[in-house]
Amino acid sequence: MEIRELTALELGQKIRAGEVTSRQAVEAYLAAIDEKDGAVNAYITVLRDEALARADEIQKKIDAGEFKDSPLAGVPVAIKDNMCTRGVRTTAASNILNNFVPPYNATVIEKLEAAGAVIIGKVNMDEFAMGGSTETSFFGATGNPWDTTRVPGGSSGGSAAAVAAGMAPYSLGSDTGGSIRQPAAFTGLTGIKPTYGAVSRYGLLAYASSLDQIGPVAHDVNDAAAILEMISGPDKKDSTSVIGDAKANKGAALEKNGFRFDFSDCLADPADATAKIKGMKIGIPSNFYGEGLDSEISEAIMAAAKLLEDSGAVVEKFEMPVIDYAVPAYYIIAYHKRNLKQSNMKKIFIMSIITMLSSLFSCQAQNKGYKSLSVNDYEKAIADTKVIRLDVRTAEEFADGHIRGAINIDVLKSDFEQKATATLPKSKTIAVNCRSGKRSKNAAAILTKNGYQVIELDSGFNGWQAAGKEIVK
């Protein structure tokens, strides 16, 4: 079985057994990123050299007998880019924080490092975690690995896409109103929003502090439980973190990193699953199963409930009459918490104006000589015969469909600049496009630096396709 076919726990076990090294694991996932992320766009920052050096460091400690009780030691992990990482850019997928490098780690990062984890990169998200599709990132939209024309959910879409595409064995996301659970559902993974207070929020760039929680995105529930055990526990830096009671929690242990819940102990062993399930009461809120729910999903849930019932669980349907108020209540709480972060309404108004202006002028700030155009403006521009159409996606993406008359030079290749300057005349404007708009901006910056007049398609080929424009193969 290849490394990327293993669950995080299986990979950790093989590393501890000496069957695989941490470096080999990191190299396998870096190769997957090189191969797949051009189409998926899950990563904002890849820590290639840092991850390899960290893998070698952890491997030496494992070989010396350390990390015996750390099931995920040496295993790579991807981190949503709203968690502070000391010395590593943390953007929250926003141009406003494009160059922000925190001087400290979030508590969850400290706990991961203490357990021997190897951070392989920071992954994409909806800007400031405000979204449900991972389409609002300054760094371009993330595609669903199962079908890149579809979204992976959000706001932790990069976390889910990285794991689903085999570009990380697990990841950390954050969840305010579904931002872990929805992307996990969209990509066929297991995602958990922990109980509020179970995981420290210190170092998380907040959306709504009284709702935010950091949690795992993994291949299965066993991985998710192990990850939760690593990152949960009290934190003096987070006044809302749960202290816990060792007497009341039989499956808990006190460790040097703080109180930890043993979530894995709660999982049923297949050998005695029926014994653990028998008598368990499972509630099904019937008003969740109405208009708007796909019948396939409803049938799958009820089939799972029937399986549990056959194993001895008590399944009961019930009504939740207040559920109609859930979404309005969520938005009231979320936006109120955001506003409370400002000392008064004047500051809120000023900050809103600043944010709006930053958004309006972000293109000008980042363009530095090239223009980002809408689909219609781009179409008008490339109608000029003096404009060369340049597609900077991979050859495979180009073959699947492209704008008529475009030539293909892959910007992800190390020789892009050499090929482009050797091929493209400086007497003509270069019109660049990629999948989502992220790679085209990188290419435009390179070409502008070399003296070219450049325009780029801001929404990328996805936007062109969505607008119903002509595509050829």
**Integer Cα distance of 339 and 328 in angstroms:** 17
What percent of the chain lies above the pLDDT cut of 90? 69
Integer CA distances (angstroms), 96 to 100, 230, 328, in order: 8, 31, 29
Q: Which of 14, 22, 36, 80 is catalytic?
A: 80
What is 3-267's CATH number, 3.90.1300.10, 3.20.20.100, 1.10.510.10, 3.30.930.10? 3.90.1300.10
User: Which residues, in sequence order, are CB contacts of 403 under 8 Å at separation 6+?
Assistant: 382, 389, 391, 433, 461, 464, 469, 470, 471, 472
Beta-strand runs (E) in 104-246: 118-123, 171-175, 190-191, 213-218
Burial of 134-148, coded b for 16+ CB within 10 Å and e otherwise, reads bbbbbbbbbbbbeeb
The full DSSP string for 365-433 is HHHTT-EEE-HHHHHHHHTSTTEEEEE-S-HHHHHH-B-TT-EE--TTSTTHHHHHHHHS-TTSEEEEE
Q: What is the pLDDT of residues 207-228, one digit of tens each?
A: 888 899 999 999 999 999 999 9
Token pair belonging to 269: 């062993």
Phi-psi bin for 166: left (phi > 0), alpha (psi -120 to 50), beta?
left
Q: What is the pLDDT of residues 432-467, one digit of tens each?
A: 999 988 899 889 989 998 999 999 999 999 989 989
Q: Which of 174, 179, 232, 459 is catalytic?
A: 179
**Integer Cα distance of 255 and 235 in angstroms:** 13
| Strand, helix or coil for residue 27 | helix
Return the amino acid letter for 448: T
- Residues listed for the chain: 473
Q: Which of 70, 94, 133, 155 is catalytic?
A: 155
**Integer Cα distance of 154 and 136 in angstroms:** 10
**Integer Cα distance of 181 and 302 in angstroms:** 19
Q: What is the pLDDT of residues 300-323, one digit of tens each?
A: 999 999 999 998 999 998 888 888
Return the amino acid letter for 246: A
Find the mean pLDDT for residues 276-297. 85
Domain boundaries defined on the chain? 3-267, 325-366, 368-466
Phi-psi bin for 352: left (phi > 0), alpha (psi -120 to 50), beta?
alpha
Q: Specify whether 209 is catalytic.
A: no
Please check whether residue 187 is in contact with residue 179, taking contact to mean a CB–CB distance below 8 angstroms.
no
**Integer Cα distance of 231 and 257 in angstroms:** 9
Q: Specify whether 94 is catalytic.
A: no
pLDDT of residue 442: 86
Q: Hey, do 3-267 and 368-466 end up sharing a CATH topology, with the first three levels equal?
A: no
The full DSSP string for 285-305 is EGGGSSTT--HHHHHHHHHHH
pLDDT of residue 362: 46
Q: What is the pLDDT of residues 42-92, one digit of tens each?
A: 999 999 999 999 999 999 999 999 999 999 999 999 999 999 999 999 999
Least confident of 142-151, 172-181, 280-289: 280-289
Q: Specify whether 428 is catalytic.
A: no
Q: What is the pLDDT of residues 374-390, one digit of tens each?
A: 999 999 999 998 899 99
User: Which CATH number does 368-466 carry?
Assistant: 3.40.250.10
Indicate whether 358 pLDDT > 70: no
Q: What is the pLDDT of residues 58-69, one digit of tens each?
A: 999 999 999 999
**Integer Cα distance of 21 and 459 in angstroms:** 41
